[in-house]
A = this chain, B = another copy of it.
Amino acid sequence: MSEEEEFQLIESDVHPLDGYLREGRIPHIFCPACSLGSVMNIIVEAIKEAKLENKKVSVVSGIGCTGRISGYLNYDSFHTTHGRAIPFAIGLGVTDPERKVIVISGDGDLFAIGGNHFIHAARRNADITVICVNNFNYGMTGGQVGPTSYKGQYQSTAPYGAVEEPFNLPDLAASCGAVYVARWSALDVRRMKDSFTEALLKKGFTFVEVLGSCPTTFGRRNQLAEGKKILEYFHEKSEIQHGADTKTVGISKDSKIIVGKFIDIEDKPTLTDNLMAVQRMSKAKGK
């Protein structure tokens, strides 16, 4: 049998997106059946779709498995410290209002150690697109419980099951003032791409939560040891409810998972707008 007959698919060495990834960095470090690779893939597609000028795009991450994404992407990319992607991104962003700054990081990074920066950035309506891959735990450090772990979830630091109420991320974002809020599971690749694209094209603080599959450190402890089981779970539980009241979209064990675009507000002045206004005022007033 020839190769072709055995595998039937056409063998290749390169992928059409390879040019958008840093040379020599694929294979990435993500585990088999981890959705981070997919999310990375979709981010690139969305940047293409949004027709952003490549050199005007910066990608900023904190630390974590998700945080590694920035380093694979062939844009200006910044892998900062744990939890600090957002303030770094704000500093980076204000130096050039034309720059589109994307923050991509994990639930622990953005909402445990980084929670304060998130709520303040949303309040200020900073001009950044924040993508959080919520895999319900700290993947990078081996699977500890986190602020999005649902009650009853087992993790290395919750050997008897998590007991705390998790954050409802879309609601937190909304109540702090985000102008765009959406959530998709790792399976909703095409809708995710649309949301990323919309978020990128919008001014101000835009937020997309992606429910990611982490078979290694989340799944293994929660009867979802394979990536395909997690996707199946998302598939079964998801329900699209565009415009849902964010108060109602909290996730708990075995509950429905509400996905969709929840918030899309127009014309709220952004941090950049405000800083420009201050510059104008300062020149007007002879202080």
- How many monomers of this protein are in the complex? 2
Instruction: Find the residue from A123, A166, A247 having the highest chain B CB count within 10 A.
Output: A123
Which of chain B's residues have a CB closer than 8 A to the CB of A285? 160
Q: Chain A, interface size: which category? A: 35 or more
A287 at interface, CB cutoff 8 A: yes
Nearest Cβ on chain B to A121's Cβ, whole angstroms? 11
The reply to whether A147 and B175 form a contact with Cβ atoms under 8 Å apart is: no
Which of chain B's residues have a CB closer than 8 A to the CB of A247? 175
Which A165-189 residues have a C-beta within 8 angstroms of B? Answer: 165-168, 171-172, 175-177
The reply to whether A165 and B147 form a contact with Cβ atoms under 8 Å apart is: no
Instruction: Find the residue from A112, A147, A163, A168 having the highest chain B CB count within 10 A.
Output: A163
Name A116's closest neighbour in chain B (CB-CB). B116
Name A160's closest neighbour in chain B (CB-CB). B281
A282 at interface, CB cutoff 8 A: yes
A29 at interface, CB cutoff 8 A: no
Nearest Cβ on chain B to A133's Cβ, whole angstroms? 20
The reply to whether B274 and A172 form a contact with Cβ atoms under 8 Å apart is: no
- Known contacts A115-B119, A125-B165; 4 additional CB pairs below 8 A are A115-B116, A115-B120, A123-B147, A124-B164
Q: List 17 A-B contacts (CB under 8 A).
A: A113-B116, A115-B119, A116-B119, A119-B119, A119-B167, A120-B147, A123-B165, A123-B166, A123-B167, A124-B164, A124-B165, A160-B281, A163-B275, A163-B278, A167-B176, A172-B175, A175-B247
